Structure 1
Amino acid sequence: MKDITVDSNPSEAQLKKMGVEHWPTWEKEVSVFPWSFVTTEVAYIVEGECVMTPNDGGPATIFKAGDLVVFPNGYKGTWEVKKALKKRFKHKDGNFVKCAFSRYKILKNRIKAAL
């Protein structure tokens, strides 16, 4: 299984170029739950702190507010939300419906911001 990657210091220019401000948001209270990624998800952590532990016994990944995280398609593991989470995200490379819906939400946010 591919590893999660974490960029703990993405530049404002990089985030702007990626269009992060238009990505939809997702929030989760402190909790523990299993998850399987059916797309590659790129997420910018706005608030919170989490630990992801893979099902294959590999090392856990810690990420927090300010981190840019890439969850690879096919990753299976357990979320441990240690501090309430708010993230901006986009889906790519995977489940067609999920990716298309993600693109639709981003486009909708871009149009709303332009008006």
Structure 2
Amino acid sequence: MRVRAQTMATEKLGVIVEKNPPESRLTELGVRQWPKWGGGPGKIPYTFSTKEVCYLLQGKVKVYVEGHNDDYVEIEAEDLVVFPKGMTITWDASVAVEKHYIELNE
């Protein structure tokens, strides 16, 4: 599956965020069939072993990308987000998060 960048998408620190994509886009990608993950507020360090695409159902997160000091990408409910393979982040959720996600070997 290829997830192509849309004109509504923006890139910051290597993270691509598409704000509030239309339901037709989510259907095209099969987002509602992807696995779900949820977690409470807190910080989680993580390195992506594959490219990951996620769609936040609820929550708000600051994503700190390794090597970019205190700069961050803020994501929230109804954002479609692409993280490249090999990226190391700290996931800082201010409230509980629930998301659909898929790992891609691209």
Q: Which runs of at least 4 in structure 1 moved beyond 3 Å after TM superposition?
A: none
Structure 1 residue ranges without an equivalent (≥5) = 95-115
Q: Which has the higher strand share?
A: 2
Identity %: 31
Question: TM-score scaled to structure 2, two decimals?
Answer: 0.83
Structure 2 residue ranges without an equivalent (≥5) = 1-12
Question: TM-score scaled to structure 1, two decimals?
Answer: 0.77
* Counterpart amino acid of residue 91 in structure 2: W
- Mark the structure with the bigger radius of gyration: 1
Look up the SS of the partner of 2:94 in the other structure.
Answer: strand
CA offset digits 1:5-58 (Å, max 9, x no partner): 110121110000111110010001001121100110000000100011011126
Aligned residues: 93
Q: Please report the RMSD computed on the Cα atoms of aligned residues, expressed in angstroms.
A: 1.3
Look up the SS of the partner of 1:83 in the other structure.
Answer: coil
